[in-house]
Amino acid sequence: MAGETITLKGKHGSFSAYLAKPAGGKGPGVVCIQEIFGVNDWMRNIANDLAVAGFVALVPDLFWRIEPGVQINGEGEGDFARAFGLYGKFNPDTGIADVQTAITHLRNVPGVNGKVGTTGYCLGGFLAYLSACRTDADCNVGYYGVGIDAKLDEANRIRKPLMLHIATKDKFVLPEAQQKVRDGLKGNARVTIHDYPEDHAFARKGGHSYVKASADAANRRTLDFFKTHLG
């Protein structure tokens, strides 16, 4: 399946996004939030897989303010150096505003049933958490989000269902930070947390840290979650 690149118009400028639709052209919407590698092959594949599963998926370019059209498809030393350089310049506050722009746009795409969720990975996992706190998304899913522990003061703003997939051997989110997230969200009936005995990016299919069994389990839970809250 091949999607298309479209243009989104936000309050502070226009930026591109990758859009993938189901064969029938109809379904709930999902905004897929990028890692630090931009809207690359992996993110487009996630959107394509969601489209096959019956969702209209949109991947906004959240690095457009820094460098439009970033696509880092490797995991070599140079790839990571470039990605972390971009990440260091990224402002999550303007990024989450762009996520809201994508959500609003997707609600009005022909064929979308009016409901839109988010799913994000790494940086995107963090932004999926912030989406639960700051956007009007109907539900949100974060995979191994980096930095959630520093924003737990916003947890009381969560109004819609949130699912977090935590990699317990994550080199970028140490056990102390993971526990802080669990403690900070404990007791919130809208939040579901699943643990996986893997490293960061265990769901990046084809990546160095990919673990099929855990990725399949997380993705299955995500699809069931979306079908429950967006159907």
Return the CATH fold of 4-230. Answer: Rossmann fold (3.40.50)
> What does the pLDDT read at residue 2?
72
> Exposed/middle/buried for 88, CB within 10 Å: 0-12, 13-18, 19+?
exposed
> What does the pLDDT read at residue 130?
98
**C-alpha–C-alpha distance, residues 69 and 26, integer Å:** 27
Catalytic annotation, pick one of 98, 138, 149, 170: 170
pTM score over 0.95:
yes
Catalytic annotation, pick one of 105, 165, 200, 229: 200
Distance of CA 171 to CAs 99, 177, 179, Å?
26, 11, 14
Rounded to 5 degrees, φ, ψ at 44 are -65, -35
CB 62 within 8 A of CB 13: no
> What does the pLDDT read at residue 231?
86
**C-alpha–C-alpha distance, residues 20 and 10, integer Å:** 20
- Residues 18, 24, 26, 27: what is their CA dihedral angle, to the nearest 10 degrees? -80
> What does the pLDDT read at residue 12?
87
Residue 170 appears among annotated catalytic residues: yes
The stretches in the chain having pLDDT less than 50 are: none
> What does the pLDDT read at residue 1?
60
